[in-house]
Amino acid sequence: MTNIVLFGPPGAGKGTQATILKDKYDLIHISTGDVFRYNIKNQTELGLSAKSYMDKGQLVPDEVTINMLQAEVEKNQDANGFIFDGFPRTEAQADALDTFLEAKGTKVHAMIALEVEDDILVERLLERGKTSGRADDADEEVIRNRIKVYYDETAILKNYYQKKNRYFGVNGVGSIEEITERLSMVIDQLMK
């Protein structure tokens, strides 16, 4: 089993690359956003709990988020591994994920971060905003704030995984195929 935390700032191409990598390596892609939307839409116990916090404008507590992701892993017991996208976001979440996976006899093998300069991210997101219909992709100030929040949050996790020798930064600039090739070189080394 190979488990990867895929990271990168907004506009780095995580969604695109996760889709390609999950097919190439037969992994399960777990996107925190998708899991939240699914649980809320289907009014699961965890979804209703998460929605109660979101409706008040509060962050969903780690425990609720972790329980949702654990449920996704449990649903896919025979998987070759997972790509975690948008999780963990805090050291507490990273610890909880490690503890959970260790109980299953596995671990996070790598945090792979797509590294892209801010100006390129802004350019990509503004371009995406023309067709995505997402308001947060249309305003440069909002985009720059999202990028800042990403760096503020993930600096801790970069250090967390570097201490475990599991952090890999990958150049996220180039064609989709070039970036996939760079990511694949890291994953192929992990699977040896």
| pLDDT at 106 exceeding the cut of 90 | yes
| Binding residue numbers | 11-16, 32, 37, 58-60, 86-89, 93, 128, 134, 146, 174
User: Residue 16: what pLDDT?
Assistant: 92
- Euclidean distance between CA atoms 54 and 56, whole angstroms: 5
Positive or negative: CA dihedral 163, 62, 145, 85: positive
Model confidence, pTM: 0.85
Contact (Cβ atoms closer than 8 angstroms) between residue 186 and residue 170? yes
Q: How many domains does the chain have?
A: 1
- Euclidean distance between CA atoms 91 and 162, whole angstroms: 13
CATH of residue 133's domain is 3.40.50.300
pLDDT in tens, 144-158: 988 888 888 777 899
User: Residue 13: what pLDDT?
Assistant: 92
Q: Please say if 144 is a catalytic residue.
A: no
Domain encompassing residue 76 = 2-190
The closest of 44, 100, 109 to 80, measured between CA atoms, is 109
Residue 172 binned pLDDT confidence (cut-offs 50, 70, 90): very high
